[in-house]
Amino acid sequence: MDPADALELLMSPAGRVDPYPTYEQLRAHGPVVSAGPAFYLVTGYAEADAILRDARFGVMDDDLRDQFLPGWRESPAALSISRSMLRTNPPDHSRMRRLAAGAFTPRRIAAMRDVVLAQADELIDGMLARGRDGAVVDFQAEFGYPLPVGVICALLGVPAADRPLFRRWATDLTGILEPETTPEELAVADRGATELRDYFAELVAARRRAPAGDLTTALVQAHDGDGHNSASGERLSGDELLANLIVLLVAGFETTTNLLGNGLVVLLDHPRAAAALRDDPEFAPGCVEELLRYDSPVQLTSRMSTAPARHGDVDLPAGSWTIVLLGAANRDPRRYPEPERFDPWRPQVHPLSFGDDASPVTDRGTPAGTARATP
């Protein structure tokens, strides 16, 4: 299959159901292939990892958005996401990551363990009660969605009563994270962005009046310059504060919901792995890594190059646009033998499902080796 046709198929609803055969067709052309003028697709693990760490590659900035997405400044969704760390390059990206990483204190993260356990227990009790008389229980509705949302809301300090509001708003906004958005999807995403912005603006005002121990308070202090980073003089602007609060919610929930849902399906198909997991909780971390590798919740990301580069024996000119197919890279047979086999006993699994293979994650646009702690 021609790479451009393969990409078209991957972007279509039918092609997304099972993208893996299409990835293999693309891989047959090489780990990095041209799919049009200054446009490349990456299926190789080493090449994807190298590009994601390469300082010559960044996300689309405002100038490029003006060039490729005329009118984006009129879209509240595009505008909001563009001000967050997800869609900025250094030095803004590095500053925001430093401020956010500082707010994810070890104490705050350690406290989340009990929150996650308590919420998971409560949701499982609810599922048991609902299914007691043999009734069908929808795992995603009862667990896969509410757990990540509940955990992120607890982290941000969103009152439990307000959580149901987020499902529609956040789902609406996630359309803006797709590689292609129709005008109708954009209108829906704009509505979600406006609702979320209004909500978080009120939460920020409330935390400024009465600081609490949550992440929102920490990020408000990063904006006001009286937080943990005040000595460095680094700040978050007002737009960045709201944009990053929104991104934490939106980036954090659908990904985890999908991992839980996909993970359950895989484990139901692999009873030996499911039994091993039930017998030994220590088995969980390796099993989760393999689930992330086998069926990545985020299938792709993209980068624009600012200078000529060469990856996978292919010259990528300055200004070229590269789609990094994370789901394909995770199934590169040069990195994982028999990659189509789910094997939670597999040694050395480092999927690219969160981006590059660095742990802690390297900052976008900084040379590998200058890694900072990730939130």
Residues numbered 173 to 192 that lie near ligand HEM (CB under 6 A) are: none
The C-alpha atoms of residue 216 and residue 196 are separated, in whole angstroms, by 14
SS3 content of the chain, % helix, strand, coil (to 5): 60, 5, 35
Stretch that binds ligand HEM, among 12-20, 136-144, 169-177, 250-258 (CB under 6 A): 250-258
Query: With binding defined as CB under 6 A, does residue 248 bind ligand HEM?
Result: yes
Q: What is the C-alpha to C-alpha distance for residues 176 and 194, in angstroms, rounded to an integer? A: 13
332 contacts 43 by C-beta, under 8 angstroms: yes
Q: How far is the CB of 97 from ligand HEM (least distance, A)?
A: 5
DSSP assignment of 110-164 equals: HHHHHHHHHHHHHHHHHHHHHHTTS----HIIIIITHHHHHHHHHHHT--GGGHH
Residue 6 or residue 298: which is nearer to ligand HEM going by CB? 298
Count CA atoms within 13 Å of residue 360 on its CB side.
10
Closest distance to ligand HEM from the beta carbon of 181 (Å): 16
- Options 102, 344, 355, 365; binder of ligand HEM; rule CB under 6 A: 355
- Tell me: does residue 152 bind ligand HEM (CB under 6 A): yes
305 scored as a contact of ligand HEM (CB under 6 A):
no
Smallest Cα–Cα separation from 192: which of 175, 205, 216, 215?
Answer: 175
256 binds ligand HEM (CB under 6 A): yes
Cβ 68 vs Cβ 75: under 8 Å: no
Judged by CB under 6 A, does residue 252 bind ligand HEM?
yes
Residue 97 found at the interface with ligand HEM (CB under 6 A): yes
Kindly tell me which of 33 and 250 has the beta carbon lying closer to ligand HEM: 250
Distance CA 231, CA 234 (A): 8
Whole-number Å distance between alpha carbons of 197 and 301: 25
Q: Does residue 86 belong to the site contacting ligand HEM (CB under 6 A)? A: yes
Of positions 39, 139, 283, 354, contacts ligand HEM by CB under 6 A = 354
Residue 337 φ/ψ region, left for φ over 0, alpha for ψ in the -120 to 50 degree band, beta for the rest: beta
Total of residues contacting ligand HEM (CB under 6 A)? 17
147 scored as a contact of ligand HEM (CB under 6 A): no
Q: Which of residues 18-77 bind ligand HEM (CB under 6 A)?
A: none
Residues that bind ligand HEM (CB under 6 A): 85-86, 97, 152, 247-248, 251-252, 255-256, 259, 297-298, 301, 353-355
